[in-house]
Structure formats: C-alpha cells, structure tokens
Amino acid sequence: MLNSRIVITGLGLTAPNGNTLSEFRENLLAGVAKIEVLDMRYMGPVPAGVCNFEARKYQKRKEIRNGTRAGSIGIYCSREALADSQLDWESFDKSRAGIYFGITEHGNVETENEVYNISQFDYDTRYWSHHHNPRTVANNPAGEVSINLGVTGPHYTIGAACAAGNAGLIQGMQMLRLREIDFAFAGGISESIQTFGIFAGFKSQGALAKHEDPTKASRPFDVARNGIVVSEGGAVYTLERLEDARSRGAPIIAEIIGYHINSDAGDAVLPDSVRQAECVRAALAMAGLQPDQVDIVNTHATATPQGDIQECKALGEVFADCPNTYFNNTKSYIGHAMGAAGALELAGNIPAFEDLTVHPTINIDELDEECKLPNLVVNNPLRIDKVDCILNNSFGMLGINSCLIIKRFTE
Amino acid sequence: MTNKDAYRLVLEIIAEIAPDEDLSDVKPEINLRDQLDLDSMDFLDIVMELRKKYGIEVPEEDYSHLASLNSCADYLIPKFKSVSA
C-alpha cells in the first residue's frame, strides 16, 4: 500500500512568462524572459516577476477583493489542473480530495497592507480589517481553493521556504500512498512580490538582484550575477494512484518515482553542498536510479554568488561521470517564484518527455568558472537523444533541501 | 439628508464591497441579504466603510439596523447629522 505508484494526471500553472504549460514551454524554448520593474512601497523600483493570469476566470470580483493573491493563484492553478486531469468532478466524492500547497511564507503581504492602512488613520486599530485573520492564516491559499472547489477533504499548506514546491508534491504523494485521499491538488504557490519585506530583506542581505534591463537581472551561473529576482507564481498538479488513474482512463503526464527532503542543520541562510548532495543521492536511491540515468537536472540556483557555487559543487560531485545528464535553470527567465519555484520549474521541463529538448539557462554572458557544470545547457535549447527522468532541486532558508524525480510514464 | 440620500451612500459602499451585484433595483423595504449575495463579512465591511468614510460608529448591538435600506436610513440619518453638525 505504501508503495503505490503515484502519477501526475493534470497540471495548472501561472508564471510571469506563461499562464498555461504550452505558453510557458514555448517561452522557455524561445528564450523569452519576463521580468518587470515594480515600484515597491518604501523602496522604489525593483525587478520582479509578475503573473498576468485571468483571476476572474474562476472567481467573482468580491472573492478576489476579500481573498489573497496567493488564494487567487491557487484557485487558478487548481482549476486549470482539474480541467487538465479530465476528472468528472461533479460526481467525485469531494471528501476524498486533498489540497497540499508548499509556501515560502504567507501573511506578510496582508499584514504589511494593514499596517500601511492604519498608518493612514494614525495607527488607530479600529481601522484594522476583519479580513486580516482569514487572509493571513497559514492555510489560506489551500483554504481558498477548498471553498472555491468544494473540497471537503484535508487542505493545508506546507511551509518549507523555497524548497516548498517540491514539499507540496511530496505531501500529496504521501497522503495518496496512505490512502487518506484519492485525489491530490499538490504544488506550490507564491504571492511574495506584494511584500516589500521580502525584497528589503534580500537587499539587506546583499542578495537582491539589480540590472538596468530587468529581463537580464536573474542570471544564475553568470559571473555578473548579483542576487535574486523575486517573483510570484504557482503550479498545481493533480496526483492519483496509478490504479485509480488507469481505471478512469486519465491522461498520465508522468510518474513521481523519488524524492527526499533533508536539513543542513547549520547556517540559517548559507547553503551546504554536502547536505544538498546527500539529498539528491537519497532521492536517487528512492527512485532506484544511478545518477547517469537522470537525463535533465533542473537546478535551484537563484543567482546569488555563493548559492550557485554550492549547488554546482553538490551536483558536480553526484553527477561526476554522467556524460548524458544535462543541467538547466528556469529562474533565469522568471526569477525566483519562492514557494512555487520547485513545482513551477519542474513543470517547465515536463514537455521535454515529448520534445526531447532541454530548455537552456539564459542570461549567461560569461559563465562563472565555479559554476561550470558538465553539460550545462547555456542560452540555446538542446535536443538530446532521450528524456526519461527529470530531477528537480529546490532549496530554502534555514537549511531545507528538497529533491524530486519524475519519470516518463511506462506501464 | 433624505432617505434617498442615505440609500445612495449605503449602495455606494455595497458597490465597492460586492462589485458583482446588480444594485439597480434594490428594494428599500426588503432585507439586503434577501436580495443580494452578502454575508456576515460583507456587513462588517459596511461597518468599516461607514467608519472610514464618514466617521460613523455602528456598535455590534446595532448591526441589525443595517438589515434593509429603510432600516439603514432610519438608523444612519441621525448619525450622519450628528457627524456633520
């Protein structure tokens, strides 16, 4: 029972450069980055990844007004994933569905807005909104989806910093294997571009990207990289046990065959390549794979000077003798979608099962010597002979590392 | 201030908090919740907007006075007058 095969049967996403998988993929292969300049409260202009999905497609204006941006992203992605899964939702037992969203943080946006709001009233707390608590409870984006879709099974978020997108998928997979549910909405969500605190925090840390051309600001592995571009976004997958998916004739996108989460137990913000390598090796072991059986490694690299080097060190060691393993990075197009990053970046690589093409890492004018991974696909897409396994890394603050491996579905 | 003035001010607030609602034919004598898709949080929004826009306080024990446009007018007109006085 605990070893049930778990498959992806639907996918919905919003990224700064795409609101469907096909649009996202098209832009990743065409090298189209989408980063804008936002006029951030108290800070002025900052580069950021902004999504432009149509929230009204699935929500009334009042629901958008009363809810959160994270909630709207979650609803859009979940509804799109559900449609993609072709499940007969009307007749499905909603108590057997669960919602598991990874988030980096939640509540900063709404709290900052309320503090700003009462500052207009001399900090009189009588003007503090009654919407504040339902907006800031940590289950918010999952809860808004539960209400929107009528899901009466479990809903909650998994706080795992920037490793959260994978953590959401892992949670969904585990609950399916435990048979707590029959259908999972799982992935990652982020509304972080609406909080100045995230930007200011990275800036104080010396880790906020700047560039005169915002589309070139996110440049992992380049010598001129200077930090993170914060983005919003989301990716929600519908997951099912293989036997259920098969019995209803569901479209099967891929199978999740391995994962691992571990902790550095060291520095709060500096990554640890030893623990990262351990995490990747443990995920490979769970999947029953040797490193050279992985075709694409989608890196986490956020374009911080130290972080990228540490990840390359870990990957260089694990994949030392793997001439057919290729590496790429998606943040170079869309910035760092925080809690959504892992799930979103994995999604952008899934079409490689069909088109056998590795989307490149863009914005590399001069590759950092310390980031010279063998087979790093730079600036131009690369068609390869086979794509059967894709590995995604996502790491986060306080030393949380996650790794997820998916496989082309075969009986 | 007339009843119609009070209706208009309340409907302006409702238009902001429930932008999907058709407010063209709201019957003053019928409870708002029987004509519009409004929940308890929306009524708290009305209370908040009265406070923000007009400095009017509606204590919790008086929330029932916001049931219909007529009851709003009866309850709010004296308050508008005392605020503007």
3-state secondary structure chain A: CCCCCEEEEEEEEEECCECCHHHHHHHHHHCCCCCEEEEECCCEEEEEECCCCCHHHCCCHHHHHHCCHHHHHHHHHHHHHHHHHCCCCCCCCHHHEEEEEEECCCCHHHHHHHHHHHHCCCCCHHHCCCCHHHHHCCCHHHHHHHHHHCCCCCEEEEECHHHHHHHHHHHHHHHHHCCCCCEEEEEEEECHHHCHHHHHHHHHCCCECCCCCHHHCCCCCECCCCCECEECEEEEEEEEEHHHHHHCCCCCCEEEEEEEEEECCCCCCCCCHHHHHHHHHHHHHHHCCCHHHCCEEECCCCCCHHHHHHHHHHHHHHCCCCCCCEEECCHHHHCECHHHHHHHHHHHHCCHHHHCEECCECCCCCECHHHCCCCECECCCEECCCCCEEEEEEEECCCEEEEEEEECCCC
Residues of chain A scoring pLDDT < 70: 1
Say whether pLDDT at B31 is over 90: yes
B19 in A contact zone (CB under 8 Å): yes
> Which residues of chain B have a CB within 8 Å of the CB of A129?
48
pLDDT of residue A1: 62
| Domain segments of chain A as ranges | 6-247, 257-407
B77 in A contact zone (CB under 8 Å): no
Of A60, A126, A131, the CB nearest to B51: A126
The residue behind tokens 């443990």 is A282
Of B20, B45, B52, the CB nearest to A61: B20
pLDDT of residue A144: 98
pLDDT of residue A2: 80
- The verdict on domain A257-407 having CATH code 3.40.47.10 is yes
Is B20–A60 a contact, with Cβ atoms under 8 angstroms apart? yes
Is B18–A62 a contact, with Cβ atoms under 8 angstroms apart? yes
**Bridge-based pairing state of the strands A233-241 and A44-49:** unpaired
Is B48–A66 a contact, with Cβ atoms under 8 angstroms apart? no
The answer to whether A6-247 and A257-407 have equal CATH topology is yes
User: Chain A residues within 8 A (CB-CB) of chain B?
Assistant: 60-62, 65-66, 121, 126-127, 129-131
Is A127–B44 a contact, with Cβ atoms under 8 angstroms apart? no
Superfamily of domain B3-84: ACP-like (1.10.1200.10)
> Which residues of chain A have a CB within 8 Å of the CB of B44?
130
pLDDT of residue B83: 86
Of A61, A62, A127, the CB nearest to B52: A127
| Domain segments of chain B as ranges | 3-84
Span A333-343, pLDDT tens digits: 999 999 999 99
Burial class (CB in 10 A: 0-12, 13-18, 19+), A407: buried
B59 in A contact zone (CB under 8 Å): no
Is B19–A121 a contact, with Cβ atoms under 8 angstroms apart? no
B48 in A contact zone (CB under 8 Å): yes
| Full-model pTM | 0.97
Of A61, A66, A127, the CB nearest to B51: A127
> Which residues of chain B have a CB within 8 Å of the CB of A127?
48, 51-52
Span A86-116, pLDDT tens digits: 999 999 999 999 999 999 999 999 999 999 9
Q: For residue A98, give the nearest of A8, A159, A174, A4 by alpha carbon.
A: A174
Is B19–A62 a contact, with Cβ atoms under 8 angstroms apart? yes
B56 in A contact zone (CB under 8 Å): no
Is B48–A62 a contact, with Cβ atoms under 8 angstroms apart? no
To probe the interface with A, which of B16, B17, B20 has the most A CB atoms within 10 Å?
Answer: B20
Residue A104 and residue A70: Cα distance in Å, rounded?
Answer: 11
Of A61, A121, A130, the CB nearest to B19: A61
Span B40-55, pLDDT tens digits: 999 999 999 999 999 9
| CA distances, A113 to each of A79, A108, B50 (Å) | 28, 8, 20
B36 in A contact zone (CB under 8 Å): no
* Complex confidence, ipTM: 0.92
Topology (CATH) of A6-247: Peroxisomal Thiolase; Chain A, domain 1 (3.40.47)
Tell me the catalytic residues of A. 162, 300, 336
